[in-house]
């Protein structure tokens, strides 16, 4: 009985660790989704900026200086998009790691539960055997001796 209580404490701890791993996975997924959304937003902004700039440049007959400034801004924007993409990739790797940790914790919970079930079944079997032995001994004592 004490062993089952100890295993139940172990199960409680394993479940807490699993719940913490699930929360960590959800947070990692949210951060990765946010990073991907930011990267898409920057990409969309770059496309819109390029279209607007090209229209204005053609309409106003831009100079070489304006063209150079636009190119520099475009390069900085492309760098920002690349950095955001790299950050999103790093966060994706963290999601994979968090998912693996969650699976490990879920496996541990399942293993401890299975062990508890086995121990309870063994304990029940021992109780049934003890009861059967007690019943057999009682029945043997009640029978009158045969001559």
Q: Has residue 143 been placed in a domain?
A: no
- pLDDT for residue 65: 76
**In total, how many domains does the chain have?**
1
* Reported pTM: 0.75
Report the mean per-residue pLDDT for the chain: 90
Q: Has residue 35 been placed in a domain?
A: yes
Q: Has residue 147 been placed in a domain?
A: no
Residue 124 has pLDDT above 90, yes or no: yes
Task: Give the whole-angstrom CA distance, residue 143 versus residue 84.
Answer: 88
Q: Has residue 121 been placed in a domain?
A: yes
CATH number of the structural domain spanning residue 68: 1.10.287.1700
Q: Has residue 62 been placed in a domain?
A: yes
Residue 87 has pLDDT above 90, yes or no: yes
Given pLDDT bands bounded at 50, 70 and 90, which one contains residue 145?
A: low
- pLDDT for residue 143: 74
- pLDDT for residue 147: 60
- pLDDT tens, 27-82? 999 999 999 999 999 999 999 988 887 777 777 776 777 778 888 988 999 999 99
Q: Has residue 116 been placed in a domain?
A: yes
Top-confidence residue, 65 or 147: 65
Cβ pair 77, 49 in contact under 8 A: yes
Expressed as residue numbers, the domain containing 7 is: 2-138
Residue 118 has pLDDT above 70, yes or no: yes
Q: Which residues contact 112 (CB under 8 A, 6 or more apart)?
A: 7, 10, 11, 14
- pLDDT for residue 62: 65
Residue 99 has pLDDT above 70, yes or no: yes
Task: Give the whole-angstrom CA distance, residue 25 versus residue 97.
Answer: 8
């Amino acid at each position: 009985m004490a062993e089952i209580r100890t295993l139940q404490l172990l199960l409680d701890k394993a479940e807490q660790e699993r719940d913490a791993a699930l929360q960590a996975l959800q947070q990692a997924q949210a951060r990765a989704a946010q990073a991907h959304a930011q990267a898409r937003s920057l990409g969309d902004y770059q496309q819109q900026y390029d279209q607007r700039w090209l229209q204005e440049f053609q309409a106003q007959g831009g100079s070489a200086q304006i063209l150079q400034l636009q190119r520099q801004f475009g390069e900085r924007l492309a760098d920002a998009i690349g950095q955001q993409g790299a950050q999103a990739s790093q966060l994706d790797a963290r999601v994979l790691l968090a998912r693996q940790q969650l699976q490990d914790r879920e496996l541990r919970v399942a293993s401890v539960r299975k062990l508890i079930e086995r121990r309870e079944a063994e304990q029940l079997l021992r109780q049934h055997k003890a009861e059967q032995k007690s019943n057999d001994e009682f029945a043997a004592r009640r029978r009158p001796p045969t001559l």
